[in-house]
Chain A
Amino acid sequence: MQTNPHRWFGAGQSSAADAAKAGAEAAAEAIGGRSAKAVFVFCSVAYDLPELLAAVRAEAGPHASIVGGTTMGELGNAGMTVGGLAVAALGGDGFTVHVRAAAIDPHEPRAAGAQVAEALRGLHDPNRVLILFCDGMSGRPNEIVRGAYSTIGAAWPMVGGFAADDRHFERTFQFCDDEVRTGSVVGLALGSDGPIGIGMAHGWRRTEPPMVVTKSQGPHVYLLDGEPALDVLLRRNNFDGTADEFFERGRALQPLGLSRRNGEDIRVIHGGDDEERSVWGAADVPQGALVWLMEADRQALLDGATWSCTEAIAGLDGLAPLGVLAFDCGGRRAGLVEGGMQEEIDTMRTALNDAPFAGFYTTGEIARVDGGSGLHHLTLVTLALA
């Protein structure tokens, strides 16, 4: 078969219905007979997950670390799948891999983030990154990311994604070696003697005028500028009907941009209550915050994908990318309906110069390069390795 180069990266996909078959197919394509150090598995909750992991393990051999999670869709060079599987693998002497997992204590979610970030300790490679796979239903994603940052600090970047369960919003799973976990954070610390690049972009823009969140609690928004939040969204969208009708008829998400120093911190609003006239999303919308409704057309979103990939590759000191891990927001799909998804994949392929890539649609993306905050929404985060 192939020789084992100093650093290598491969990707594979499958949409086979059988877990064992899908696992074997995608893993074989990604690993290609090489000796893998890490295998990344992104798949639908619909699979028999232990069976799928066993099939991947059979291909990866006993020494590879296996990490990943369930998704809201998978992506790779071959395109986007829903209910399928995408696998990435890397290996070679130039990479070092440490893996840790921790259960999320609902009262102290940051502890799990802090614990898994310890995986970075003991790495001595000149370039390092922490890759996180987190449960998407824990309710306090910000705290998990802060926990990880509190351990690793500003010296090293982190990326990752919050797992999903197709579109059920009930229970998500994380993978750590041969274990299928839920309510967990899995961290893979990757060290490399080659450069690492990270990109992120969303492509959304503000629609004026801004509004003040006059009443909110956690992810629930009750009043915007003193007016019931649902009424505001319906009015601004010229929509006449119930909340369910609004969020199900192609308006499945309403991005709210929180005013921040360098632009907007986006929150996805995906539900509403006709009685309370309130709306809600997946993460906190703080009372007192200044927000804009965000809008995007297909081209702007595609431009965002290009920008994210370009930025990641720009971090590779002029080297060609070996491969890319992608964490794409499940919400972006709503803005890219009717063929848009395939266009996004094409855009990424072009921007990455046909380097192998694999990733998944998340319920929240993690990327921290500058500054202290690392949680994003409606964003495409890419990690490029050379």
Chain B
Amino acid sequence: MLTWSTHLLTEYFTAVNAAEDEETAIASAVERATEMVEAETGAVVREGRVLGAYGFGGTVPEAGLLAVAAGESLLDVPQVGELHAVANPLGGENADALIVCRDGEAFGAEERQMLQGMAQVLGLALRSIRVLAAERHLRAEKERQATTAQTRQRLVESLLTIQRAISARRPLPEILDAVTGGAAELLHGDATVALLLAEGGPDRRLSVASTCGRTEGGPVHEAAARAAMTGGSALISTDGVGTVIAAPVRVTGEMAGSLVAQLPGDADQYAEQRDHLDAFAQQVSLALTDARTVEAVREAHHDPVTGLPNRALFLKILNRVLASRGTETDPTSVLFIDLDRFKAVNDSLGHEAGDQLLALVARRLRSCVRASDTTARLGGDEFAALLHDSPVEAATVVGGRIVASIKEPFRVAGREVFIGASVGIATSREPVERSEALLDNADVAMYRAKKEGPGRVLVYEPYMHTEALDHLSLRGDLQRALREGEFRVQYQPLIRLADGAPTGVEALIRWHSPTRGFVSPVDFIPIAEEFGLIVDIGQWVLETSAAQVARWRRHFPDLGLNVNVSGHQLVHPRFADNVMRALAIAGLPSSAVTLELTESVLMSEPDLGKAALHVLRGLGVQLSIDDFGTGYSSLAYLRELPVDELKIDRAFIARAELTGEDLALVRTIVELAQILGLRTVAEGIENAAQLTALRRLGCAYGQGYHLYRPADPGDLPARLAARLVEDPVG
């Protein structure tokens, strides 16, 4: 139907997406929407706040607008009267909405529908702007910090004085005097400062623990101190003499008292000082907490579940042992113990049972070593033992004892539980040895032991280290794979949902390594990118698939090719040349090729690749955004880049039965694509219900196991031909 409303959406869309900040986008959206439905007023409610209010003149009826966002359909506007109001959700998680209000005629169904569309467009634009703004904000924050650096420097110096008093175990009164002295210095000259601390007992009486600059008999300001403690933040007030600032002080999280400053003159000049005193009091709280919690320090070094030393303490002890060795030949052994099947117990019986089991394991470990040896829990299901004066043979015996001991059943949560342990051993013989290195070596040995099967004890050998750096060796394997032709390409058809006709194929790389077996692209592509091999691998995929599709086109003349492109390829200076060369050699027209880029690549390399993409687009190659909707979904790049296609990420249609929310999201993307004149391809269609829903939403193309699985090139023509007859869609 040719109506006035649908044609306004394009105008609106262009206007809203030209905005570079939230304020402009909101103002533009509100004004256009208001004008387009000939409403008098409009606004956006976002995160509970009214923004971009338009047409209200000086007084914005905020409460009324919030009520409209919550569902009210009339808005009373001062001097104008009662208007028909409609709130249109912006999408996203909050009850954010674009509101327009009109005198006289209520909004019709068609107008509401258009407004919904407008609100969704605004929502998308705002979300993408916010992502960009977050990056900019980080920079601005750094600059702001620099301007307050001087104040911070003074604050730091005062706190250092207090810390020195605490760490030097000065008497408490001296520490408290450092606190009040530091505060007075921070506030400059004329301030007198008192620290009031609550005493024990039911009435928590406040008493002055320290003062600075105060003459005897001055006012105590107990009321101000109590008010700050009750409110939990710094307060400023005036008394007969001048201004009083009180900031609460906490010790181990509990309200312990107040730091109270008396300054001359009116309160309104001291807003900054109030903030400083508050910040100082917070820092003092931390310092006092530290001083008073020697006991807590011990807890911080021990694992609460097992009572064993934690990793940090274990390393300290190990350091001390290594440093205090009498001779170079005194061997020190470290055992790294990893439990087998612990995760299964934890998952099936619950965390509480898991913790019980860990405590029991700790007890058995202790029984396997001498009283003078140290055992520790490193984290998760990893333990360690430190055996001093223990040669490797003795350590191996202890390791075997541990494995045997852990193999015995445990009784947890009223049942027998069977687990196991793998042990790696590293022994120090070097005159200088780092504790971390020794523990790492034991870890490497344990990893190797675990690979050989459960219940093993292995002693560290240098070759194991090389093996542990497996992912480094992947680099060589990948180079070899490329050289020796271990990669191959599978093809998954893209289907036109209207009639089920295959319109193209996506090339998918596969690697079957002779040594590693099948390796998933998820595992090797990041490493190929890390070592810069992706450019060659990507080029190989493009050349191979282009040649293949060119051959298929003799029988399927309209078949297109989708190829994934990595960000590293995109920024390669010869990327466009490489692509065109591959197509020329294969004899595949550029118009048959669509390059797929992920959103994250486009966001991380917004400018570098743009020129190449425009060159390629100019030569007829098409561009697709892969996984659309999972990243930033920035409308900015859709506007700036020559995009032809959006691939809706499988996450949006992952549920077997799509919910209303899923459908709304997909619909938004499809409508967005229609506005921009782009194709939409739904990925991951796995059942007939999803297929039907996507067709109904107007999604033009699809891909997924329900339609076609990825196939080897030899199998594909037959499948394409067969499905053409069957029509999987209809």
Contact = CB atoms under 8 A, between A and B. Distances in A.
Interface residues of B, number: 32
B38 A372 contact: yes
Nearest to A291: B7
Nearest to A152: B57
Contacts of A153: 41, 55-58, 80
B199 interface: no
Interface in B1-56: 2, 4-5, 7-11, 14, 31, 34-42, 54-56
A156 B79 CA distance: 9
B34 A288 contact: no
A154 B104 CA distance: 13
A225 B1 CA distance: 17
A204 interface: no
B78 interface: yes
Contacts of B290: none
Contacts of B36: 260-261
B103 interface: yes
B527 interface: no
A146 B31 contact: yes
A344 to B, nearest CB: 28
Contact of B11 (A152, A154, A286): A286
B57 A371 contact: no
A3 interface: no
Nearest to A259: B4
Given A155-B57, A370-B103, A372-B54, A288 B10 contact: yes
Pick from B40, B56, B79, B80 the residue with the most CB of A within 10 Å. Answer: B40
Contacts of A210: 2
B77 interface: yes
Given A146-B31, A262-B38, A372-B38, A151 B57 contact: yes
A370 B37 contact: no
Contacts of A155: 57, 77-80
Given A290-B2, A372-B31, A261 B58 contact: no
Nearest to B37: A261
A372 B31 CA distance: 8
Interface string A267-299: 000000000000000000011111000000000
B40 A371 contact: yes
B41 to A, nearest CB: 6
B14 A287 contact: yes
Given A260-B4, A261-B4, A288-B7, A149 B55 contact: yes
A121 B59 CA distance: 12
Contacts of B40: 154, 370-372
A96 interface: no
A334 B497 CA distance: 54
A259 B7 contact: yes
Interface in A115-165: 121, 146, 149-156
Interface string A90-112: 00000000000000000000000
Nearest to A142: B35
A281 B165 CA distance: 79
Interface residues of A, number: 25
A64 interface: no
Nearest to A153: B57
A221 to B, nearest CB: 14
Nearest to A155: B79
Nearest to B57: A153
Nearest to B60: A153
A156 to B, nearest CB: 8
Q: Is the interface of B mostly helix, strand, loop or mixed?
A: mixed
Nearest to B101: A154
Contacts of A151: 57
B41 A154 contact: yes
A372 B52 CA distance: 14
B41 A372 contact: yes
A290 B34 contact: no
A370 B38 contact: yes
A351 interface: no
A241 B84 CA distance: 52
A261 B41 CA distance: 16
Contacts of A262: 38
B54 A290 contact: no
A334 B536 CA distance: 68
A372 B80 CA distance: 13
Pick from A153, A259, A287, A373 the residue with the most CB of B within 10 Å. Answer: A153
Nearest to B59: A153
B78 A288 contact: no
Contact of A373 (B4, B14, B38, B41): B38
Interface string B74-113: 0001111000000000000000000000111000000100
Interface string A354-386: 000000000000000011110000000000000
B57 A260 contact: no
Contacts of B104: 370
A212 interface: yes
A325 B80 CA distance: 25
Contacts of A287: 10-11, 14
Contacts of B35: 371-373
Given A154-B77, A372-B34, A372-B35, A121 B58 contact: yes
A373 B54 CA distance: 11
A150 B11 contact: no
Nearest to B79: A155
Contacts of A212: 7
A33 B56 CA distance: 41
A290 B5 CA distance: 10
A320 B35 CA distance: 33
A370 B2 CA distance: 25
Contact of B38 (A121, A260, A289): A260
Nearest to B34: A372
A156 B42 CA distance: 16
Given A121-B58, A149-B55, A154-B57, A261 B10 contact: no
Given A152-B57, A155-B57, A371-B39, 4 more contacts: A153-B58, A154-B41, A154-B57, A373-B38
15 contacts: A153-B55, A154-B77, A154-B80, A154-B103, A155-B77, A210-B2, A261-B111, A286-B10, A288-B10, A288-B14, A370-B38, A370-B103, A370-B104, A372-B39, A372-B41
